[in-house]
Amino acid sequence: MRLALLYVRSRHSARAVAGLAVLLVATWLWRHLSDGGAFNVALMITTLPLFGAAIVGASTGSAFGESEKTASYWLPILRVPHLAGLVVLAAAGLVVATTGWHGATIQWLLVRNLILFTGLALLTARVLGSGLAWVAAVGYGIAAMLTVPSDHIPTFAQQASQVTRWAWSLHAATDREAAVIATILLLMGLGIVGSAGAHDRPGDAT
Amino acid sequence: MSATLLRIELRRNTVVLLLPVLAALVWFSPTGRHLGTLALWPDRGIDLQNALQGMGPLFAGAAAWIAGRERRRGLEELLTTTPRSPWTRLLTMWAATTAWGVLFYVGVVAVVFGTTALQATWGGPALWPPLVGLLTMPALAALGFALGHGLPSRFTPALVAVGVFVVFSLGIVASHGGQSIGDLAPIVPSIAGSVWYASRPDLGLVQAVCLLGVSGVGLGVLGLSADGWHGARRVARAAVLLTALGIALTGASVALINSSQRDDGGVRVPFFGGATSAAPLPYVPVCSATPLPICVHPAYRAELRETALLLNRLAAPVLGLPGAPDRAAQQPVGDGGSGTIQVGQLGAGRTLTVLPIALHDPSAPSEPQWVSMMAMDLVATTPGQSDATFKAQTALALYLVRRAGEPVDAQWPFAQDPAVQAAARRFAVLRPGARQHWLRAHYWQLRQGNVRLEDLP
């Protein structure tokens, strides 16, 4: 238990949890300020999960660098629960903040996109390091948003039926392909970063 | 600022690593997608500002990451022993980051304007959009640096990137919703996307003032946070001055935009003076040498042939009849007298019709809708006085559309009515002589809305 706590501290988890608390408040505020229009919903289900995924991605950094790999303890058993726990916390925040709004659809869209973006962020952390883990997820989220018109379509459901195939983050809540791809990306990210850690240069993980 | 230091910063800059991602975002943005469509200089200028929506957030995030480097690596105290002030070092890093951003953006401008120069048939490049875009890069870098240096954590860059994207998007939403404060977002077009009216420079000027203000605030705050050096007081004075100047410029831009109004010539800021109404641009229309001459604005010359062929195919049965149109001319929206045609893209893609008015009109029709509107215009001067007369006009229009081999719009009122469809089919199977005879006798009355569905042969 002590080891787990020390591990969590070394990953700046207090900051990450504070960030996720901000995410919860931002989601709650957005819900109350949003007009529920298609563009607004698309923006919400893109930016809020991106925010959560960026926090999880940045949490992959290790303050000890390569020296941590010499530890006798098998690190994946610490890394995977830590990252999965943050994903669960972020998802719970998104769900709680949107309870009773747009039914369960918006909640599932937020959680699915969190899973999708987190998967991308974890994979990027393995390539570019924890500090730049957000690049692919943010880039992809924005690229998907750029494929939708800003104000021509009244409802998100209509908009979701017209988006480009690769813009999975904007697919309808019932779209199985988007859910499968999100799950695969998260599992790959957890598997790869869980086993090998983020690719940080000394100092980048602060 | 040392040239050697700048060279090192340029070589080691993280933005270089992100250039392919930035290029991909520009490609996926409307900027990239529009390169293959009808080339209108105002639209392509607007696309240059749209490009910022994709690349801007990542660039700001990268700047935040670069700014946190010294603190992240625990080098700050060591670097206070160097003769240069921390602010100078940070400004060098900012200059290198900005240089890469500006260089990349200049490349985007060169590609877009170069392609447009080869495609466009009228007009010239609008300079405000690329200028606003160029000023956005230092402003985003300054913002990213201020936040990245003030909050040096690996969480900061991501939040800066997402935050900038949200601010840009909310700016667009506010601008579309008529809230002028949204116009300050650099991705809101600084010119009117019209080939008909001269664009005012007002919004471009205000956006430029705002961006200079944001740059000033960002760099000033950076100077205030770069403490721990022996000349800190002198640096702090300059930083305070720069911050105050930045705040003043940003405040001025907010005040200016709050007093603005919008019309066909774009945004008008009373403080800058200028004409109160949009000034029409002079042009000589280009016309087709077809039985029904079609005249369009020279900027749409590339689509004249296809449009003329389609309209002539559609109008062939009624051409030469008493009361039939003998000319069609493209007019700007708002001048919707009879004879107004709306020329769109009728290319092989056959997807969404982009009207010259589309930038002002969020409900741009699809090609089948456009064709049905044209067909209705050919058979109705005024819409029918009753359902029966309107159905008669619709049946004739449906006949024209089918005869021309065009797809029928699924949303066309009354076109799905079995009685209307049957009447259109009956009319189509008449002998040509009988059909022409009936049209010659009744076309004028039909256009006036005096012929009922039962009166059709």
Could you state, in chain order, the average pLDDT of each consecutive group of 10 residues for chain B (457 residues)?
85 91 89 81 91 93 91 75 80 95 96 93 91 97 94 87 91 86 92 83 94 96 72 80 96 94 82 79 88 85 83 86 76 43 35 27 60 81 72 90 85 80 89 89 85 83
- For residue B4, the model assigns a pLDDT of 87
- For residue B92, the model assigns a pLDDT of 92
Closest-CA distance, A43 to chain B, in angstroms, reads: 8
CB-based contacts of B178, cutoff 8 Å, min separation 6: none
- A52 and A94 Cβ atoms separated by less than 8 Å: yes
- Rounded to two decimals, the ipTM of the complex is 0.87
- For residue B228, the model assigns a pLDDT of 57
Asked if the C-beta of B365 comes within 8 angstroms of chain A's C-beta atoms, the answer is no
CB-based contacts of B306, cutoff 8 Å, min separation 6: B346, B347
Task: Give the angle subtended at the CA of B310 by the CAs of B344 and B32, to the nearest 5°.
Answer: 30
CB-based contacts of A180, cutoff 8 Å, min separation 6: none
Closest CA to A62 of A125, A147, A18, A17: A125
Asked if the C-beta of A61 comes within 8 angstroms of chain B's C-beta atoms, the answer is yes
Closest-CA distance, A128 to chain B, in angstroms, reads: 10
- For residue B142, the model assigns a pLDDT of 96
Closest-CA distance, A56 to chain B, in angstroms, reads: 9
Asked if the C-beta of A63 comes within 8 angstroms of chain B's C-beta atoms, the answer is no
Q: Which helix (H) or strand (E) holds B190?
A: none
Residues of B in contact with A141 (CB under 8 A): 165
- For residue B304, the model assigns a pLDDT of 82
- For residue B352, the model assigns a pLDDT of 26
Q: Which of A120-134, A147-161, B146-160 shows the lowest mean pLDDT across its residues?
A: A147-161
Closest-CA distance, A83 to chain B, in angstroms, reads: 15
DSSP string, B400-440: HHHHTTPPPPTT-TTTT-HHHHHHHHHHHTS-HHHHHHHHH
Rg (CA), chain A: 17
Asked if the C-beta of B360 comes within 8 angstroms of chain A's C-beta atoms, the answer is no
| pLDDT (average), residues A168-185 | 93
- For residue B153, the model assigns a pLDDT of 83
Closest-CA distance, A113 to chain B, in angstroms, reads: 15
Strands B261-263 and B328-330: unpaired
- DSSP annotation of B29: S
How many other C-beta atoms are found inside a 10 Å radius of the C-beta of residue B90?
23
Tell me the three state secondary structure of residue B277. Answer: coil
- Report phi then psi at B294, rounded to 5: -115, 125
Interface test with B, best of A134, A162, A199 (most B CBs within 10 A): A134
Q: Report CB contact under 8 Å: A134, B158.
A: yes
Interface test with B, best of A39, A132, A163 (most B CBs within 10 A): A132
DSSP string, A114-175: HHHHHHHHHHHHHHH-GGGTHHHHHHHHHHHHTTS-SSS-S-HHHHHTTS-TT-GGGS-TT-
Q: Point out which residues pair with B294 in neighbouring strands.
A: B328
- For residue B55, the model assigns a pLDDT of 92
Q: For chain A, what percent of residues have pLDDT higher than 90?
A: 43
Which of A15, A138, A150 lies nearest to residue B155, judging by beta carbons?
Answer: A15
Q: Where are the beta strands (DSSP E) in B223-368?
A: 261-263, 266-268, 286-287, 294-296, 328-330, 340-341
Residues of A in contact with B17 (CB under 8 A): 128, 132
- For residue B332, the model assigns a pLDDT of 66
Strands B266-268 and B261-263: antiparallel
Interface test with A, best of B46, B154, B360 (most A CBs within 10 A): B154
Closest-CA distance, A146 to chain B, in angstroms, reads: 5
Distance from C-alpha of A160 to C-alpha of A163, rounded to nearest angstrom = 6
Asked if the C-beta of B28 comes within 8 angstroms of chain A's C-beta atoms, the answer is yes
Which chain A residue is nearest to residue B25, measuring alpha carbons?
A143
- For residue B383, the model assigns a pLDDT of 63
Distance from C-alpha of A98 to C-alpha of A45, rounded to nearest angstrom = 11
Please report, for residues A46, B60, B421, the alpha-carbon distance to residue A205 in angstroms, rounded to integers and kept in the order given. Answer: 26, 19, 70
Closest CA to B322 of B443, B432, B456: B443
What confidence category does residue A75 fall into, taking pLDDT thresholds of 50, 70 and 90? confident
Distance from C-alpha of B412 to C-alpha of B374, rounded to nearest angstrom = 12
Asked if the C-beta of A117 comes within 8 angstroms of chain B's C-beta atoms, the answer is no
Q: Report CB contact under 8 Å: A139, B24.
A: yes
